Amino acid sequence: MRALSPAELNVSALEQVVVSYSDTATALADVSLSLSPEEQVAIIGPSGAGKTTLLATFACALKPSRGRVVVFGRDPWALPAAELHRLRGDLFLAPQAPPLPPRQRVVNAVLAGRLPQWTAWKALSSLVRPRDLAAAHDALTRFKLDDKLFLRCDRLSGGERQRVALARLLVSNARLFLLDEPVSSLDPNLAGVALDTLQEEARQRGATLVVSLHAVDLAMARFPRLIGLRAGRVLFDLPRAEVSNELLTDLYGAELGMSFQSPPTFEEAQMKLTRCL
């Protein structure tokens, strides 16, 4: 195994990054993290901890007030606009609320993932007559939405819209997946299917997958590395096995005086669910 150069070691890295919106509002304080190729990471933490900001910073969508960002071995904020644009085509940032225009059909919403690879003319002609229907259909099938291919986005439920936004990822070319609460509107069964698909896709492509979750049980069950974020600071950055209940209590429950129980496994959760039905 040859030694990897430092640039190749990291898909994306933040060094002592500070993101602040004003003198008093700091979203991220002194965050240093790095992501290696083919890693799968879950970011957990209470609301307002800065998970969205962290993902945005990794995705060079947000310029930090201080500190350095490196993406694919380069400093995105030092690049000329065209280069930065190309760089962005290699990553995929999915916001919490599915960004789907209401009257657009699902097929076009999904194929929008291909846009970085298409010329302007191809993009426009695909609106008139969708190209690559097969790829869109395939992507939707993996999220169990194949029958919705030609429906309008505003005719879908919240959970379906969320899955369509994820299907976009499957037709894109990205090597770095940054997903903000991708399964928040999905029931445990569908959430499992969605995460299965995402993780498998990441493995197949050799891409890095970073997901922010508020369901700690899912995070613990599926992701080998967990980053705990609280009030804009990294509380811990550990392999799954080393994340103890005390750490989780620190992360979530300390302010509320709660103590964290050992979260149920996915199977246990599913059994609980079927018992309720």
Partner 1 sequence: MRANAPAGVEGHHTNAWVSKAVLAPLVFLAFLMASIATLSGDWASLFSRAAATSMLEFARGFIAPAGGAAFLGKTFYAALETLAISLLGTLLAVLAGLALALPAAGRWGLPAKHAARFVLNVLRAIPELVWASLVVIAAGLGPFAGTLALGFHTTGVLGRLFGESLENVAPEANDTLRRNGVGALPAFWYTTFPQALPQLASYALYRWENNIRAAAVLGVVGAGGLGQMLYFHLSLFQTHEAATVLLAMIALVGVVDIASNQLRIKLTGR
Partner 2 sequence: MTTVALPASPLRDPAWRERMLWTAAAVILLFPLGWLAEFNPATLWSAASLSATRQFLGTFFPPKLDAEFLYLVGIATWKTVAIATVGTTLAVLIAVPLALVANRQLSISAFASGRMCALCMGVRATVRTFMILLRSIPEIVWALLFVRAVGLGDTAGVIAIALTYGGMLGKVYTEIFESNETQGTRALLGNGASRTQAFFYGMLPVCLPELMSYTVYRWECAIRASVVMGFVGAGGLGQQMELSMKMLAGGEVLTMLTVFVGLVWLADAVSGFLRRWLS
Cβ proximity to partner 2, 53 vs 197, nearer residue: 197
93 makes contact, choosing from partner 2, partner 1, none, with CB < 5 to 8 Å by partner type, with: partner 1
> Residue 137 interacts with partner 2 (CB under 8 A)?
yes
> Residue 200 interacts with partner 2 (CB under 8 A)?
yes
Smallest distance, partner 1 to C-beta of residue 84, A: 9
What's the CA dihedral at 4, 68, 114, 37 to 10 degrees?
Answer: 30
Counting beta carbons within 10 angstroms of the beta carbon of residue 129, is it exposed (0 to 12), middle (13 to 18) or buried (19 or more)? exposed
Residue type, 76: P
Query: 40 near 200, Cβ under 8 Å?
Result: no
> Residue 250 interacts with partner 2 (CB under 8 A)?
no
Task: Round to whole Å and give the CA distance between 169 and 202.
Answer: 10
Smallest distance, partner 1 to C-beta of residue 210, A: 15
> Residue 168 interacts with partner 2 (CB under 8 A)?
no
Smallest distance, partner 1 to C-beta of residue 231, A: 25
Beta-carbon contacts of residue 104 (< 8 Å; ≥ 6 apart): 152, 153
Task: Round to whole Å and give the CA distance between 199 and 89.
Answer: 20
By the criterion CB under 8 A, which residues form the site for partner 1?
Answer: 59, 61, 85-95, 97, 99-104, 108, 112-113, 115-116, 118, 120, 123-124, 127, 172, 174
Sheet with 12-20, side-by-side order of all strands:
26-35, 12-20, 66-71
> Residue 129 interacts with partner 2 (CB under 8 A)?
yes
141 makes contact, choosing from partner 1, partner 2, none, with CB < 5 to 8 Å by partner type, with: partner 2
Query: 113 near 169, Cβ under 8 Å?
Result: yes
User: Which uninterrupted H or E stretch holds 35?
Assistant: strand 26-35
Smallest distance, partner 1 to C-beta of residue 91, A: 7
The pair of structure tokens assigned to 37 is 């190729």
Cβ proximity to partner 1, 128 vs 276, nearer residue: 128
Smallest distance, partner 1 to C-beta of residue 60, A: 8
Query: Which residues form the interface with partner 2 (CB under 8 A)?
Result: 105, 107, 128-130, 133-134, 137-138, 141-142, 146, 149-150, 197, 200, 204
